[in-house]
A and B are shown apart, each in its own frame.
Chain A
Amino acid sequence: MAHIQLGNDSLEKETTTLNLGPTHPATHGVFQNVLEMDGERIVSAVSTIGYIHRAFEKIAEHRPYYQITPLTDRLNYCSSPINNFGWHLTVEKLLNIETPKRVDYMRIIIMELARISDHLICNGILGVDTGAFTGFLYLMQERENIYEIYEEICGARLTTNFGRVGGFERDFNDIAILKTKKFLATFPKIMKSFEELFNRNRIFIDRTVGVGAISAEKALNYGFTGPCLRATGIDYDVRTANPYSSYNEFDFEIPVGTNGDTYDRYMVRNEEIWQSLRLIEQALAKMEKEPKGIFHADVPAYYLPEKQDVYANMEALIYHFKIVMGEVDMPKGELYHAVEGGNGELGFYLISEGGRSPYRLHFRRPCFIIYQAFAEIAKGSLLSDAIVTMSSLNVIAGELDA
């Protein structure tokens, strides 16, 4: 990028080019910003992305539906279960599968745990970027506890490949429920001490209030969704606007900010963590009222049969073979389904022309759409403020590049 000539009021004759990234520790991911700097102030920024593009949309056109779930793991890898269930809900909508209530509640427990872990990472690292390491360490321990719950249910931690089309691969065991309850009991105290460290902290407030602000109109025009949009004061949340997975039965609030700056984004995320805890508590109570042992819909053509049935039962063997080899014919259809991901509206636009794989699958990735505003937000701010802004937009490279 060419240098920009500066006026007489500047000490420099022209701007200095600064490459922030692709592998800069402060960007928390692989993407580059070419900045033109006047001293410490950013005159213009150009974002370059695509460093971890993995052609998921192309691969998805060649894979049976159940093999697409692991691809969605790798979009927003801080909250993979939300992506997994988003994809399963899309396929269930295509197939008109109605899931049992217990499955919905189980999904909500996992999705809200994922939302908490996503927000913990974002807010914890925001603390690190403003110079406070303690809060981050408090929260990482809690994220570890959430991952242990995942591990108990699906065996994986980060890229979870959670559940199947129609429900879960297995029921929650007693240890998983025990760990969830233990998390609900211990986490609020940790979260409180984290908030006490940050919310009214002089240094933190000085670093974040008024930094990286965006107005509600601009945010809508830039396609913002999720906490970044809600921080500007717009109460749009897919969970209440287009409820999925029985969210309409739950009692929770949508926190909103007023200024749309980094501090508001931080506060909205914090409050959402509290709301997620409420949701998990309600979902656990509701789940216990449902008949035990139901963890998937009764759809033998799409849901893998029990392994012991495969050896003893002819039909189960046929279904097992057809599903594993991807020989299940999907109905024709075209649909868009969205869920509220950690960063906003995660949409799946699916066209099926029949056959084993989608004809076209497009992921609406919230990060990709939000991040294009960064160049404009960063313009005119200090370099250190731009880092904090980027951190609070919670740009996840996996979701950026797909």
Chain B
Amino acid sequence: MAIATENLIADLQSTFGTALSNFEQPYGLLTFQTNKDSIIPVLKYLNENETYRFRFLTDVCAVHYPTTKELAVIYHVQSMENNFRLRIKVFIPESNPKIPTATVLYESANWQERETYDFYGVIFEGHPNLVRILNVDDMVAFPMRKEHPLEDPNRIDKNDTYFGR
């Protein structure tokens, strides 16, 4: 059974109302925003609905927007039966980067959330084991945030200012 994009949008809007916003389809992939209180109910609804069957969490990652002092947590979910992908974004403030964990629904969220925490400092509340995964345990920074330069700024042997690096 195929999902019609318009019907899905209409259904989600009638179920969750104003909690969902900014519906768009960049490069044909339905994308919308929600807030941190609604993300788990939305995922749960999509997961448990017998028509949609979004049972597969493809990807979890984050993006840092220093100008608005926000972090975006981005979920890609997928319904294999309907061959339909979906992107859900949640913007959370840099000062209080907390969001409930998706491990209650998907086991695969476990390490992906740890990775997101490791690099962006997003705290997934309720996560069974939220510790660093790829970086060393005693690291203090969250290195993928934009304020951290790629290389040690004190190095003078690597001046690439001419080439905009």
A336 to B107: give the CA distance in the assembly, Å: 22
A3 close to B (CB within 8 Å): no
B74 neighbours in A (Cβ, 8 Å): 349
- Residues of B13-67 whose CB lies within 8 A of A: 26-27, 29, 31, 55-59, 61, 63
Contacts of A347 in B (CB 8 A): 58-59, 76
Any B CB within 8 A of the CB of A10: no
- Does B165 interact with chain A (Cβ within 8 Å)? yes
State A58–B87 Cα separation when bound (angstroms).
22
Question: Is the pair A335, B58 in contact by a Cβ cutoff of 8 Å?
Answer: no
Shortest CB-to-CB span from B64 to chain A, Å, is 8
Asked if B57 contacts A334 (CB within 8 A), the reply is no
Q: Can you name the residue of chain B whose Cβ is closest to the Cβ of A55?
A: B143
Whether A223 and B58, one on each chain, are in contact in the complex, defined by CB atoms closer than 8 angstroms, is yes
Contact digits for A39-50, partner B, Cβ 8 Å, 1 yes 0 no: 000000000011
Q: How far is the CA of A218 from the CA of B106 in the complex (A)?
A: 10
A225 to chain B, nearest CB (A): 9
Q: Indicate if the CB atoms of B150 and A59 lie closer than 8 Å.
A: yes
Q: Which residues of B contact A356 (CB under 8 A)?
A: 164
Q: In the complex, what residues of B have CB within 8 A of residue A57's CB?
A: 119, 144
Complexed CA–CA distance, A400 and B152 (Å)? 26
Interface flag for A2 (CB, 8 Å): no
Question: Is the Cβ of A222 less than 8 Å from the Cβ of B119?
Answer: no
Q: From B26, B106, B134, B164, name the one whose CB has the most chain A CB atoms within 10 angstroms.
A: B134
Q: Give Cα A236 to B31, complex, Å.
A: 23
Interface centre among A61, A241, A334, A364 (most CB of B within 10 A): A334
Q: Hey, which chain A residues are within 8 Å of B165, CB to CB?
A: 62
Nearest residue, chain A, Cβ from B26: A334
* A349 lies within 8 A of B59 (CB): yes
60-88 of chain B: CB within 8 A of chain A: 61, 63, 74, 76, 80, 83, 85, 87
Contacts of B26 in A (CB 8 A): 333-335
Q: Are B150 and A372 in contact (CB under 8 A)?
A: no
A261 at the interface (CB under 8 A from B): no
B96 contacts partner chain A, Cβ-Cβ < 8 Å: no
State how many angstroms separate the Cβ of B86 from the closest Cβ of chain A.
10
Q: How large is the interface on B (under 10, 10 to 19, 20 to 34, 35 or more residues)?
A: 35 or more
CB of A368 within 8 Å of the partner chain:
yes
Residues of B within 8 A of A59 (CB): 150
A372 touches B55 (CB 8 A): no
B133 at the interface (CB under 8 A from A): yes
Given the contacts A50-B135, A220-B56, A360-B63, A325 and B83 also touching, CB distance less than 8 Å: no
> For residue B55, which residues in chain A have a CB less than 8 angstroms away from its CB?
220-221
A234 close to B135 (CB less than 8 A):
no
Instruction: Report yes or no: A242 in contact with B83, Cβ–Cβ below 8 A.
Output: yes
Q: Are B108 and A53 in contact (CB under 8 A)?
A: no
Residue of A with least CB distance to B165: A62
Neighbouring B residues of A182 by C-beta, 8 Å = none
Q: Does A179 contact B (CB under 8 A)?
A: no
In the complex, A62→B164 CA distance in Å?
9
Q: Which residues of B98-133 have CB atoms within 8 Å of chain A's CB atoms?
A: 106-108, 110-112, 115, 119, 132-133
Let me know if A128 is at the binding interface, CB within 8 A: no
Of all chain A residues, which has the CB nearest B111?
A372
Complex CA gap A61/B119 in Å reads: 14
Chain B contacts for A222, CB-based, 8 A: 107-108
Q: Is the CB of A333 within 8 A of B27?
A: yes
**B133 x A50 contact (CB < 8 A):** yes
Choose one: B80, B112, B115; the contact of A234 (CB below 8 Å).
B80
Docked complex: A65-104 residues within 8 A CB-CB of B: 93-94
Most buried by B among A62, A220, A223, A336: A223
Query: What's the Cα separation between A53 and B133 when bound, in Å?
Result: 10
Task: Indicate the member of B59, B80, B110 with the most A CB atoms within 10 Å.
Answer: B59
- Taking CB as reference atom, which chain B residue is nearest A326? B163
Which residues of chain B are within 8 angstroms of A364 by Cβ–Cβ distance? Answer: 58-59, 76
A353 to B92, CA, bound (A): 20
In the bound complex, what is the Cα–Cα distance between A40 and B165 (angstroms)?
A: 54
Give the CA-CA distance A364 to B110 in the complex, in Å.
14
Question: Could you give 25 example pairs across A and B, Cβ below 8 Å?
Answer: A49-B134, A50-B133, A50-B134, A53-B134, A53-B135, A58-B144, A59-B150, A93-B27, A218-B107, A221-B106, A223-B56, A223-B112, A242-B83, A325-B163, A326-B163, A336-B27, A336-B76, A338-B58, A347-B58, A362-B61, A368-B112, A368-B115, A369-B112, A371-B111, A372-B111
Residues in B lying within 8 Å of A, measured CB to CB? 26-27, 29, 31, 55-59, 61, 63, 74, 76, 80, 83, 85, 87, 106-108, 110-112, 115, 119, 132-136, 143-144, 148, 150, 163-165
Which residues of A are interface residues toward B (Cβ below 8 A)? 49-50, 53, 55, 57-59, 61-62, 93-94, 218, 220-223, 234, 236, 241-242, 325-326, 333-336, 338, 345, 347, 349, 351, 356, 359-360, 362, 364, 368-369, 371-373, 401-402
Q: Apart from A364-B76, A372-B110, what are 14 other A-B pairs with CB-CB below 8 Å?
A: A53-B135, A221-B107, A223-B57, A223-B58, A223-B108, A242-B83, A336-B58, A336-B85, A349-B59, A349-B76, A362-B59, A368-B111, A369-B112, A372-B107
